[in-house]
Amino acid sequence: MPGFELFSDLERKEVNDVLDNGVLMRYGFDGMRKGHWKAKELETELQNAFQSKYVQLVSSGTAAVSVALASAGVGAGDEVIMPTFTFVASFEAIMMLGAIPVLVDIDDTLTLDPKAVEAAITAKTKAVMVVQMCGSMGNMDALKSICDANNLIFVEDACQAIGGTYKNKPLGSIADIGCFSFDFVKTITCGEGGAIVTNNADYYRHADHYSDHGHDHVGNDRGAETHPFLGYNFRISELNAAVGLAQVRRLPEFIAIQKKNYSILREALSKLPNVTFRTVPEGGEESYAFLNFYLPNLEDARNVSKVFKENGIDVCFHYYDNNWHYIRKWDHLKELKSLFPISQEVKQGLKYLETKTFEQSDAYIARNISCLVKLSWSEQEVQDRAHKMAEIIRSVTSI
C-alpha cells in the first residue's frame, strides 16, 4: 500500500485508451468511445473481486459512504453509529445527509466494540457503520447479529482494507452495503475514486441513480433519461476508472507483496516482550496494509514514535496525537465549526460530544502504533527496517 508505488505500462495503456477516444465522462458519447467503457469494466472486475452482485463506482470513498447511506434511506435526524477511530470522512459523509454520527468506543480490534454499539442504540438509530481500519476487521458476526436483532442497516466501510477477508468473504462484501476508497494512498488507486458494493438490488439501483443527478440510465439517449428521484453528482471519470482497472487486476500481486513485507516486520517485533498486536477476529485475514501493535503505555508509544521519526522510520502513525483519525483532536466536529448553518436536529444530536469521554478507546489508541506497509520496499530494506524498529523499541520502552 499504496498502489501508485508500482505504476506500470498496464496503467498507462488503460489511460491512453481513454485519451485516444477523448471521452473522459463515464456516461454517454457512445459513438466516440471506440468500445471503451472503463468504469463499466472496472465495476465488473470489482464484482468478481468482491464476490458481490452489484458495484457502483463514485468519485471518492467519502462519496461512497454518503451514497451508500442515502441509498439505504438514511437521512435527516437518523442516527448512524460509528467508531471513534476512523478518518474524518466518516462523520462528514453522515452529516452531509443531515444524519447524526453517534461515536462509540473501539475494542482491541481497533474497530467497533459490539457492546458499545448495543449500548448506543436508540429509537433514532438507523444504521451501524463498522470501519475496517488499517487493513483488518471488527467482530463481524457480533455486529451483524446486533443489526439483525434491532432491524438496523449494517454498513461496512472497507476503504483501508481492500484484500482482507473474513470467513473467506472479502471485506466490504459482508454487510448490507459496503464502501471502498481508491484514493491516491490506497492499496489500489484511481487517483480519486470509490465504490459501493451490495447484493441488494434496490440499494444498487438507488446508488446508480443518486450518484448521477437521479438519472435512471434507461435507454441510449442520456438527454431522454428520466429522474425517478433527486440525485447529486458523485460520478467517477473514465480517466480515474482506467487507472483503477489496471490496478484491480494487480490486486493479488499487491496483497502478496504486502503480506511478505508485513510478515518480516511482525516476526521481528513478535520477539519483544513489551509488544502485543491488534486482535484479528477468528476466521479473519488482514489485507496486510498496516502492521498495528501495542506498547505498554502512552509514554512509551509517544517516545517510540518520536525516535522512529528521528531515525528515518517513516509512515508509522501514533493516532492518539493525530488530527485526522481519532476523536481526541476533532475540535471542528465537537465545536460544530461549519461554513453553513447546521440544522437544529444535528446540533441537538451532537450535544453529547460536549461531555462524552472515550476512556476505552483512549486506552487502545494511546498505546497503538500503526505502520503502513509499502509495496516498493526491497526485501533487504524491509529486513533493515524490521531490525531498526525492534532495536528502537528495546532501547526506548520502559519494560
7, 89, 104, 236 from 213: Cα distances, Å = 33, 22, 33, 13
Distances (CA, A) of 62 to 95, 100, 180, 214, 374: 11, 16, 9, 19, 24
Q: Alpha-carbon torsion 205, 133, 277, 316, what sign? A: positive
The Cα 307–Cα 167 span in angstroms is 38
DSSP code string of 351-381: GGGGT---HHHHHHHTTEEEEE--SS--HHH
186 in active site:
yes
Dihedral sign computed on CA atoms, order 239, 187, 255, 107: negative
* 27-33: long-range contacts, CB 8 A cutoff, minimum separation 24: 27/212, 27/215, 27/217, 27/222, 27/235, 28/222, 30/220
What cell numbers appear for 381 in the block?
A: 530494506
- Using the 8-state DSSP alphabet, how is residue 321 labeled? G
C-alpha cell at 33: 468511445
CA distance 219 to 279: 49
Question: What is the C-alpha to C-alpha distance for residues 385 and 65, in angstroms, rounded to an integer?
Answer: 36
Integer CA distances (angstroms), 122 to 91, 215, 333, 355, in order: 18, 35, 21, 19
- DSSP letter at 342 equals P
Active-site entry in 53, 186, 337, 347: 186
Catalytically active residues, by annotation: 186
